[in-house]
Amino acid sequence: MAYFGPRLGVSRIFPPRVSAFRLLGTVRMDDMGLAVGRSALERLDFDNVVLKKLPVDPSEEPGVRLVKGACFSRVKPEPLSSPRFVAVSRGALALLGLDGDEVTSDPLGPEYLSGSKVMPGSEPAAHCYCGHQFGQFAGQLGDGAACYLGEVKVPPGQDPELLRINPSGRWEIQVKGAGLTPYSRKADGRKVLRSSIREFLCSEAMFFLGIPTTRAGSVVTSDSKVIRDVYYSGNPRYERCSVVLRIAPTFLRFGSFEIFKPADEFTGRQGPSYGQEQIRGQMLDYVIEMFYPEIQESHPDRVERNVAFFREVMCRTARLVAQWQCVGFCHGVLNTDNMSVLGLTLDYGPYGFMDRFDPDFICNASDNSGRYSYKAQPAICRWNLVKLAEALAPELPEDRAKAVIDEYLDCFNRFYLENMRRKLGLLKKEEPEDEILITELLRTMHDTGADFTNTFRSLAEISCPSEGETEQEKEAVKNATELLVAHCASLEELKSANTPTMDPRELAMLLSMAQSNPSLFEMISDRATIARQLDRMSKLKVLMETSEEELRSRQAQEWTSWITLYRKRLARELEGQSDVQAVREERARVMNGTNPRVVLRNYIAQNAIEAAENGDFSEVQRVLKVLEKPFSSQPGLELPAWVGSRGSSARAEREDGEEQQQGAAAPSKAADPVPYDSKPPAWARQICVT
């Protein structure tokens, strides 16, 4: 599996028993003063292999253009005004052999890690790729804001497990938000504080959850400003340009292979390198040789090698999306250009962790059709694998690709069930009925509006039945029911969640059109969207006729039924076990190491963003510390340190010289802080991510 393993401590710069002077013995005497005087960032050992192995655009002409016959274009990052660190991830920087404290104390650190100043050995470039966006081939896309800086050699003393997971021996580093590239289209190549903090925090959160992901080493902000219309409401405001440092073995993606696509039958667009088949072969060779060397070595036949590679990508993708589903993570924009060839979570945009469980959860407010909803993710990843297979043809024969694709569903289900059994503490036996138990759990969570993260976390507190237990059974079920009902939605929350988002008159018009003019209806809407609106109306009608007491009684009944089934299954776990107490302790340990106490909910990220926009970066750093240990409680880190308030001044002063922008989002929190492991506060319903 392609994730980076346990968090590293600070990597040693020098191997044991080897002095710095001995290592510098290869440096000429007249260069020694320069070598010793250089900072850690200036001493990074770059080996930019991908620019040697794959074709680079010979033109360095500035501006947006179609790039033919090349995988990369050389670019010049645009400097920021007064760049400064918002936060760094010491674990991510350690991958490069860097010490976080040394980096933050380096006066040039923010310049180097924002692309404002180019490090020695760095060769800034932007990657050319295409993609299917929301199901339609979009033609050339590419790194419109990201900038490849180079590949840093793995430092001495790095964890051997990382070398197994990243066999290339190099870490590719990017800066995202460093300015215009040939692929910026109509944008400016910049990112702002909001999106940069979200990407930084979620990249690291996913790593510490044990989910394959790219990493984020730092966030830098500046005095440079760009105009953004936050809510697309016609009220733009100035925001600070900010940059994230991203780290991965490679950022190549499914869409990297789509630059050779012939004209699409629906959109008419084609890849910029259509007809240049030799480049596809070069890219395939590079990816397999560098990142799948065991496949390269064990398959001398080229076709068999390519099939084995595609099967491994399929397996990694299936495992990845199974892990997403098991923590309630929704990516939001699962286009083919956002799918990693290494099975990593890639490109954090309008993502979201579910609060109240809803299989139809859509985290991206721009996804009107629900194409990338939570429940759709496994199927969408399979669809994207089909598009990758098409892009690899004829290097990957169609019939062989289809056979691999046919394995996907079983592969996903295997990973999903394996993970869900751990979440439920079912460790000793695998029973066919487990799937029914899991399905019933999710149905009960949905019907009662249960919080996804907190409900799963609480399951470890439900006791296993003792042998011959009868009198205590009723009390145990009652206690467990009270425990889980506490995580269910209130009547007001359910009413809010089930309020139709479409005007009743518009809905009535579309329903009429679906009957009278189906072809026109299909052009402006879809049946799934209408069905969701009707379902909301139906549920809201029932809720309007329900009291809070009736709701709680109904929720308790549903949970009592499921808990009774669950405890019977737990009893079977203990059958034949000589040390029952050891089994119970193992169950609690595994569950508490699988079900996180804290995830990066939108309200947690928003709180950190608002603090940073008010000049206080400490909340970003504090949230990072919390996310680094998502499965355990951290005394002193239970609550946010920064809390905005409605109608009153924020606790932190804005940075000197920064004006309050008209139309900016007002601090959206009540004065009392909400714990990081809490259900979202009421104000979180207003958060809209696009």
Helix (H) / strand (E) containing 87: strand 84-88
- How far is the C-alpha of 65 from the C-alpha of 393, rounded, in Å? 27
Closest alpha carbon to 461 in 334, 597, 630, 658:
597
Tokens 């889980």 belong to 484
Phi then psi dihedrals of residue 513, to 5 deg: -65, -35
CB 392 within 8 A of CB 283: no
Which residues touch 167 (CB under 8 Å, ≥6 apart)? 290, 291, 292, 293, 294
The SS3 of residue 352 is strand
CB 312 within 8 A of CB 292: yes
Tokens 């939001």 belong to 332
Among residues 106, 159, 337, 347, which one is catalytic?
337
**Residue 143 falls in the annotated catalytic set:** no
- Listing DSSP states for 498-562 in one string gives TS-SS-HHHHHHHHHHHHH-HHHHHHH--HHHHHHHHHHHHHHHHHHT--HHHHHHHHHHHHHHH
The SS3 of residue 223 is strand
Q: How far is CA 545 from the centre of its chain?
A: 40
Q: How far is CA 139 from the centre of its chain?
A: 24
- How far is the C-alpha of 270 from the C-alpha of 4, rounded, in Å? 35
CB 200 within 8 A of CB 600: no
- How far is the C-alpha of 111 from the C-alpha of 210, rounded, in Å? 31
Closest alpha carbon to 102 in 46, 38, 154:
38
* Interior/surface letters 319-350, b for 16+ CB within 10 angstroms, e for the rest: bbbbbbbbbbbbbbbbbbbbbbbbbbbbbbbb
Report the 3 state secondary structure along 111-168: HHCCCCCCCCCCCCEEECCEEEECCEEEEECCCCCEEEEEEEECCCCCCHHHHHHCCC
- How far is the C-alpha of 668 from the C-alpha of 55, rounded, in Å? 49
Which residues touch 90 (CB under 8 Å, ≥6 apart)? 10, 99, 100, 101
Which tokens is 524 given?
């402006």
* Interior/surface letters 583-600, b for 16+ CB within 10 angstroms, e for the rest: bbeebeebbbebbbbbbb
- Annotated catalytic residues are 337
